[in-house]
A and B are shown apart, each in its own frame.
Chain A
Amino acid sequence: MNVIVPKLKEVLFSVLPITAIVILLHFTLTPLETPQFVRFLIGAALIILGLTIFLIGVDIGITPIGNRMGSTIVKSNKIWVVVVAGLLLGFFISAAEPDLHILAEQVDAVSAGLITKTSIVLVVSLGIAVMLSLGMLRIVYDFPLYITLTILYGLILLLSFFTSKEFMAVAFDASGATTGALTVPFILALAIGVSRLKKNSKSSEKDSFGLVAIASTGAIVAVMAMSILSKTSKIAGALEQGRTDPSSILDPFVQTLPLITGEVALSLAPVLVLFLAFQFLWFKLSGAAVRKVLFGILFALIGLVLFLLGVNAGFMEVGVTVGYQLASRESHGYLILVAFALGMVTILAEPAVHVLTQQIEEVTSGYVRRIAVMATLAIAVAAAVALSIVRILVPEIQLWHYLLPGYLIAIGMSYFVPKLFVGIAFDSGGVASGPMTATFILAFTQGAAEAIDTADVLVDGFGVIAMVAMAPLIALQALGLIFRLKSKKGGVAGRGYAD
């Protein structure tokens, strides 16, 4: 009927599975304390409400801004404008990302002040800025995505020989952290704004994706380079985990609210400022259009605050408890099984996933359906979380035992998979490691790691994000192969994406 009802329905269907599984666990394997359980239910309600409002805000605010900026920048037809605009956009947007600040604080704490918070934020933002610029240049000069990614991941592989194990984990996590709930929709929209100008509709379609992927490698390269240059190899200490008083139901919500509101407002500030600057200099939109965009930003703000409030105050603690209780059991079969199930349902509630799947539908005129991408992502993330739990259980398995072959396969596949899916797959890596995974799944694995003596909470915790970011690369490229086979079988001249 109107805009709100279908969005609400879509969000309900994606948040209810995770709620159902936790309720099921509550009554069977891992009974939660009553206040915790009630908080979880309040959290679920907040997430449903918040995600709905946020997605509407992205639709009418963030996406149109990104689209228009992308088009406007490229229409200048001057290379320095593209480079400078890419640098500025990349730097300010990632510097304002709350997840990056949290990560930087953690690194600051565990490296005993050797690497300061400010330096991490600056270096990572700079890395993202450079890569965003490069990524936009790639689109306008028609340089193939798979070659770009091969070069970038080759560089990462090279750097990883000189980087310590702890910093590897931080580096991959940094890439997940900077591609947060706001950054991803914006960068996606930027790429679409640039590439939809293209006359060749096939290249316009495939170049709409891939910019998030390129930008997020910037974070990895930056952290690795910093670790090598500063010759810091040791990370000592442990993460402090803020625990709230479990007896009060509402306190955690009340305490978290101002903090989250500040963070979200900070991360939206550059988008707002840039929009106003572009509006006065170039866009010159009508009053009604500006009002629409401003309402969009406001909705994104309110929605994201409610969503994060629900996740942080309602879900995180439950994740730790469920993980801890399951890992304390005699047999670990249930733990792996639940990890698989949680991975599968958590990804559905990830905000950026909704944005990405909708963009895919729009760019391909509905040819690549949301449900296909969602289902593939769910299976991929489920496998990633389950494998991470196996790694925590078996100390012999190192993170790179998964990552190295995984990335080799992903890069290898990019040479013969339909090119549209290469972009989609590498973008969804950044998309999958959003706030929902970073809190709930991370909390779950950290809870499990706490209960298992051989596990290291810090290293194992970081690793799971890297896994969740990698698995979709392979799974979605596999989906691309299936799409190609199917369209061949149909005998319709149709839409072979191979070039």
Chain B
Amino acid sequence: MDTRIEQNSAELIVAIVNFGSGSKLTRAAKRHGIRGATVTLGRGTADSHLLEFFGLSDIRKEVVFMAAGKETALQALDALSREFEFHKPNHGIAFTTSLCGVVGTKSIPCKSLSGEREDEESMYHIITTIVEKGRAEDVIEAATKAGSKGGTIINARGSGIHETSKLFSMEIEPEKEIVLILSEAHATEAIVASIRGALKLDEAGNGIVYVQSANKTYGIYK
């Protein structure tokens, strides 16, 4: 048996890289002991007013999700960050967040997170917003106003319990957009409040926001 199964807590690595690098990153990650990865397409926004004016602010990105035991994850991410030079601007970013249990080819049980976690107060938060298709730009705009540096948009589809409907003979699910925003811990509250206000999230059916803490981040520059 793999000795690494001893690692009792799990980490989810999320890496956001330029389009086309996702598969490369996955291959490299496997060399460093990560067992699998899921890649999805997203788009990021550039921080330039000139480009934005011309409507040229969208950049195609790939978002890679990888779950692994904590030790493996941190070592692998460290190696990946060196290999892909996340510290340079525009080379992508990566962060990890704690998982409570993984079930799959290799099960990682959930260990009580209380106690040992609290001393490492995290510097960054991951703010995930899920809204109706077409409103992601509003989310990013609201977040930027409150001090965020940008975000990544992933196209998605999904619905609440009562939303599936039928058009002709096709079953329809509303289109959604998922916005990932990495924020410094002290700015999180302001950003969430700004998004919440701008998108009227308190009314039913307008979307949801959740915040996770990032344990380790690479490639964020100020």
Complex-state Cα separation, A1 to B39, whole angstroms: 20
Task: Determine, out of A95-103, A358-366, A406-414, the stretch whose residues face the partner at the interface.
Answer: A358-366
- A1 pairs with B90, CB closer than 8 A: yes
Contact indicator per residue, chain B 28-55, by CB within 8 Å of chain A (1) or not (0): 0000000000011100001010010111
Q: Which of B23, B55, B167 has the most CB of A within 10 A?
A: B55
Complex-state Cα separation, A82 to B170, whole angstroms: 14
Shortest Cβ gap from B23 to chain A (Å): 8
Find chain B residues with CB under 8 A from A361 CB: 41
B interface, by DSSP: helix, strand, loop or mixed? Answer: mixed
Interface residue count on the A side (C-beta < 8 Å):
39
Given contacts A2-B46, A2-B59, A56-B56, is CB(A366)–CB(B39) below 8 Å? yes
20 pairs from A and B in contact (CB 8 Å cutoff)? A1-B90, A3-B46, A3-B58, A56-B56, A75-B167, A77-B167, A140-B167, A140-B170, A196-B175, A197-B170, A198-B170, A199-B164, A199-B170, A199-B173, A201-B157, A286-B138, A365-B39, A365-B41, A366-B23, A366-B41
Shortest Cβ gap from A315 to chain B (Å): 28
Find chain B residues with CB under 8 A from A203 CB: 170
Find chain B residues with CB under 8 A from A142 CB: 169-170
- B55 pairs with A140, CB closer than 8 A: no
- B167 pairs with A2, CB closer than 8 A: no
- B41 pairs with A362, CB closer than 8 A: yes
- A198 pairs with B172, CB closer than 8 A: yes
The 7 A-B pairs with the shortest beta carbon distances in the complex, nearest first, are A292-B55, A199-B171, A140-B168, A295-B55, A199-B173, A60-B55, A3-B56
Complex-state Cα separation, A77 to B55, whole angstroms: 32
A80 interface residue (CB < 8 Å to B) = no
- A296 pairs with B55, CB closer than 8 A: yes
Q: Which of B59, B62, B168 has the most CB of A within 10 A?
A: B168
Complex-state Cα separation, A198 to B172, whole angstroms: 5
- B167 pairs with A293, CB closer than 8 A: no
Complex-state Cα separation, A1 to B89, whole angstroms: 9
Complex-state Cα separation, A286 to B138, whole angstroms: 10
A58 interface residue (CB < 8 Å to B) = no
In chain A, residues 283-306, which have Cβ atoms closer than 8 Å to a Cβ of chain B? 285-286, 288-289, 291-293, 295-296
B129 interface residue (CB < 8 Å to A) = no
- A288 pairs with B46, CB closer than 8 A: no
B189 interface residue (CB < 8 Å to A) = no
Choose one: B22, B62, B175; the contact of A197 (CB below 8 Å).
B175
In chain A, residues 1-45, which have Cβ atoms closer than 8 Å to a Cβ of chain B? 1-4, 6
Find chain A residues with CB under 8 A from B18 CB: 6
Shortest Cβ gap from B172 to chain A (Å): 5
Shortest Cβ gap from A46 to chain B (Å): 21
Complex-state Cα separation, A67 to B157, whole angstroms: 15
A170 interface residue (CB < 8 Å to B) = no
Instruction: Please report A residues at the B interface, Cβ cutoff 8 Å.
Output: 1-4, 6, 56, 59-61, 71, 74-75, 77, 79, 82, 139-142, 196-201, 203, 285-286, 288-289, 291-293, 295-296, 361-362, 365-366
Given contacts A197-B167, A200-B171, is CB(A60)–CB(B40) below 8 Å? no
Choose one: B53, B56, B137, B167; the contact of A4 (CB below 8 Å).
B56
Find chain A residues with CB under 8 A from B65 CB: none
Complex-state Cα separation, A71 to B169, whole angstroms: 15
Shortest Cβ gap from B157 to chain A (Å): 7
Given contacts A197-B173, A201-B157, is CB(A295)–CB(B54) below 8 Å? yes
Find chain B residues with CB under 8 A from A286 CB: 138
Complex-state Cα separation, A189 to B37, whole angstroms: 29
Given contacts A6-B19, A365-B40, is CB(A199)–CB(B62) below 8 Å? no
Find chain B residues with CB under 8 A from A198 CB: 170-173
Complex-state Cα separation, A288 to B23, whole angstroms: 34
Shortest Cβ gap from A69 to chain B (Å): 14
Complex-state Cα separation, A292 to B137, whole angstroms: 12
Shortest Cβ gap from A17 to chain B (Å): 19
Find chain B residues with CB under 8 A from A288 CB: 137
Shortest Cβ gap from B44 to chain A (Å): 10
